[in-house]
A and B are shown apart, each in its own frame.
Chain A
Amino acid sequence: GENVEQHPSTLSVQEGDSAVIKCTYSDSASNYFPWYKQELGKRPQLIIDIRSNVGEKKDQRIAVTLNKTAKHFSLHITETQPEDSAVYFCAAVKDRGSTLGRLYFGRGTQLTVWP
């Protein structure tokens, strides 16, 4: 299978500060890494993703980095705002094998941004 570890489980920052969430994965067959944001009582929504042939991707205040050698990837949020408060999940997807397309999720990080 695939084992995705995510840290920290909770993260509190002051508005305007940066937040970093880190994930590791175990299976080298994983080559696609999406990040989902889930607000309380709502569906998970994709916020950014990265593919294994790219080391970094940025979208406004959100960036994701990937180190395939070390099998870890991170989410970076800059200039945090209270509306960034949510649970963030990292995930890994394999491109081969019987579990093609299946998302392996981390346990989630509860981000709280204080005004």
Chain B
Amino acid sequence: EAEVAQSPRYKITEKSQAVAFWCDPISGHATLYWYRQILGQGPELLVQFQDESVVDDSQLPKDRFSAERLKGVDSTLKIQPAELGDSAMYLCASSFSDRPKNIQYFGAGTRLSVL
């Protein structure tokens, strides 16, 4: 069964450093989502792509976060500089399209710890 791939699984960094996370969605999925999950809470959307275009980045802290999906396939989420409050699980999900009936499949996530 195809899965959403994410790397790295764990990342420890010091504040003010730059970090990057990578996501490879299920083949053929046009819509890609990055979520942030703080311990004890539900995931919250950071950015949504439709193919290579950003369709929703209203919750992305654009002063330090950036995301790209240049060829409409895999995606990178970057934080620069990292802050203590960025410690969380970063989940990537993909779906066939953005229609509500299309199931979102999640990756295993990248757990970020900022020291």
Co-assembled chains A and B: yes
Interface size class of B (residues with CB under 8 A): 20 to 34
If A43-B91, A107-B42, A108-B40 touch, does A101 touch B103 (CB 8 Å cutoff)? no
A45, A46, A101, A107: the one contacting B100 at CB < 8 Å is A101
If A42-B108, A44-B106, A98-B56 touch, does A105 touch B99 (CB 8 Å cutoff)? no
Q: How many A-B residue pairs have CB under 8 A?
A: 67
Task: Please determine whether A95 and B42 come into contact, CB atoms closer than 8 angstroms.
Answer: no
**A residues near B33, Cβ cutoff 8 Å:** 102-103
A contact residues, total (Cβ < 8 Å): 28
Task: Please determine whether A45 and B102 come into contact, CB atoms closer than 8 angstroms.
Answer: no
**A residues near B99, Cβ cutoff 8 Å:** 95, 100-101
- Bound together, the chains give a CA A53 to CA B102 distance in angstroms of 16
* In the complex, per-residue mask of A7-44: 1 if CB is within 8 Å of any chain B CB, else 0: 00000000000000000000000011010100000111
- Bound together, the chains give a CA A10 to CA B104 distance in angstroms of 25
Q: From A4, A31, A32, A51, name the one whose CB has the most chain B CB atoms within 10 angstroms.
A: A32
- Bound together, the chains give a CA A76 to CA B56 distance in angstroms of 33
**A residues near B43, Cβ cutoff 8 Å:** 44, 89, 103, 105
- Bound together, the chains give a CA A32 to CA B103 distance in angstroms of 10
Task: Please determine whether A94 and B100 come into contact, CB atoms closer than 8 angstroms.
Answer: yes
Task: Please determine whether B42 and A105 come into contact, CB atoms closer than 8 angstroms.
Answer: yes
Kindly provide the distance from the CB of A54 to the nearest chain B CB, expressed in whole angstroms.
Answer: 12
8 residue pairs, one from A and one from B, having the closest CB atoms: A105-B42, A101-B98, A32-B100, A93-B100, A43-B106, A43-B108, A44-B106, A95-B100
Interface of B with A (CB < 8 Å)? Answer: 4, 31, 33, 35, 40-45, 48, 55-56, 91, 93, 95, 97-109
Given contacts A6-B42, A43-B108, A103-B35, 18 further A-B contacts (CB under 8 A): A4-B42, A43-B4, A43-B91, A43-B106, A43-B109, A89-B42, A93-B100, A94-B100, A95-B100, A100-B55, A100-B98, A100-B100, A101-B31, A102-B33, A102-B45, A103-B43, A106-B42, A107-B41
